[in-house]
Amino acid sequence: MKYLFFDIECANCYNNCAKIFSLGYLVTDEKFNILVEKEDVLINPKDRFDWYVAKKMMAYPREIFKDLPPFPDFYDRFKEMFEDPETVVVGYAVTNDVHFLHDDCKRYKLPLFSYRFFDVQQLYARQPVNNTAKNLEDSVLSWYGEEPENLHRSDEDAYNTMRIMKAIAAFHNTDLPGLMEMYPDCGGETHDGMINYAWKKPEGEVKKKRHRSGKGKKKAQETETPEEEITGNTMEQGSHNAELFVKFLENVKPKEKIRRPPLLSGHTVTVSLNYQRYHFNEMLYLVQMIVDAGGHYTLCTRDADTLYTYGDEENDIRHTIFAERIAAGEDLDVLPIKALFDILETSELKLSRKPKKDLSALEESEETEESEEVPV
């Protein structure tokens, strides 16, 4: 078997349609020996570059793309690569890239590709060590102790995806197919226009026990520990953490003498519920950083002009609302949460290592409000 490691960069994803400007790849055998050296295929996206992509995610001058051929000129080449029956496709957060390929095929009315894929992001999340990072940069840092070079250059990202998988395979003293056999729930396939994943829930989501009737409910309440108490870092609707977060939003102010870069000034942003719900402490720091950068964080999706996505978009109501607003003609931005981290000069790994934020003042405020007598 051969293993095609790949990564895609897009000019924009306006109207829920990705416009690819680079597809980087390399091919290895089952021992991670490189059979086809890494290459970055540059493509004319035939559309404008998003402002954030242009400022933060371009490894090449924009001017060169106008003279390059568009996606249809590479279609047959990509089809042969991806649909080779002796090849398994591998990516990092691979579902994003799978959707990107679907989008450009649909945009040019070309038949969709059918192939098997494997997600290294899902793989590292299941490891007993070095599993707190979420993005490619942090994962390389966790497994190799170094920061990757040439981020957002597709061939380099594909190469680093291979390196992470190679390190995990070495940790388990196995090879590439052995790792895939150990973690079959990190794979999937696309065929006939359908994308099927072996994994079902966004990372970090814990299945809750539900009771269809009152029978046994009291006993369950006495013996089960609520998910929030287990993790201490969730904030489901109506929970104490959620109440504290709302109060924090009401009181947060920019810190003194903070330099405000222009990238968030005047912007009202929100992030995917897939992240917000399971990263209470990180969200407290993130909101403070957003405010310090001149932006505003909102819980009301319809008030936001920018959505930062995380995890499975199909299960995120905020993404659905943004899609409806964009379809109605609103000029909005939908970007991966990594873009927000880059703007704020942080990362998911750095946020996850932050100490628990002191909310004693908010707790005392709540206690004071509860103890105040209401005049009759």
* Residue 182 and residue 39 share a domain: yes
* Residue 37 and residue 174 share a domain: yes
* Residue 272 and residue 165 share a domain: no
CATH of the domain at 140: 3.30.420.10
List, in order, residues 6 or more apart from 271 with CB less than 8 Å away: 283, 286, 307, 308, 309, 310, 318, 337, 340
* Residue 193 and residue 120 share a domain: yes
Query: Is the whole-model pTM more than 0.75?
Result: no
pLDDT tens-digit map of 67-119: 999 999 999 999 999 999 999 999 998 888 998 999 999 999 999 999 999 99
* Residue 190 and residue 250 share a domain: no
Domain boundary among the residues 146, 170, 197 is at 197
Q: How many domains does the chain have?
A: 2
Instruction: Name beta bridge partners: 40.
Output: 24
* Residue 108 and residue 171 share a domain: yes
* Residue 291 and residue 171 share a domain: no
The tens-digit pLDDT sequence of the chain (376 residues) is 999 999 999 988 777 788 999 999 999 999 999 999 999 999 999 998 887 787 777 889 999 999 999 999 999 999 999 999 999 999 998 888 998 999 999 999 999 999 999 999 889 888 888 776 567 777 887 788 777 676 778 999 999 999 999 999 999 999 999 999 999 999 999 988 888 888 754 343 333 333 333 334 434 344 343 443 334 788 877 788 888 898 899 888 888 655 555 578 888 999 999 899 889 999 999 999 999 888 899 998 988 999 999 877 777 889 889 988 888 888 888 888 988 988 888 888 888 888 998 888 887 665 555 444 444 3
366 domain residue, yes or no: no
Rg from Cα positions in the chain: 22
Angle between helices 240-251 and 360-371 (to 10 degrees): 100
List, in order, residues 6 or more apart from 105 with CB less than 8 Å away: 75, 111, 112, 113
Domain boundary among the residues 144, 176, 197 is at 197
* Residue 22 and residue 166 share a domain: yes
* Residue 240 and residue 182 share a domain: no
Domain boundary among the residues 197, 217, 243 is at 197
Instruction: Name beta bridge partners: 117.
Output: 89, 188
**Alpha carbon distance 144, 18 (integer Å):** 32
Domain range enclosing 42: 2-197
Instruction: Name beta bridge partners: 333.
Output: 306
In the DSSP assignment, the letter for residue 70 is B
Whether 36 contacts 54, CB under 8 Å: no
Sign of CA dihedral 61, 66, 72, 76: negative
369 domain residue, yes or no: no
List, in order, residues 6 or more apart from 16 with CB less than 8 Å away: 103, 323, 326, 334
Whether 144 contacts 115, CB under 8 Å: no
Whether 238 contacts 276, CB under 8 Å: no
Sequence-ordered alpha helix ranges (H) in 252-316? 273-276, 280-292
pLDDT tens-digit map of 212-237: 333 344 343 443 434 433 347 888 77
* Residue 245 and residue 176 share a domain: no
292 domain residue, yes or no: yes
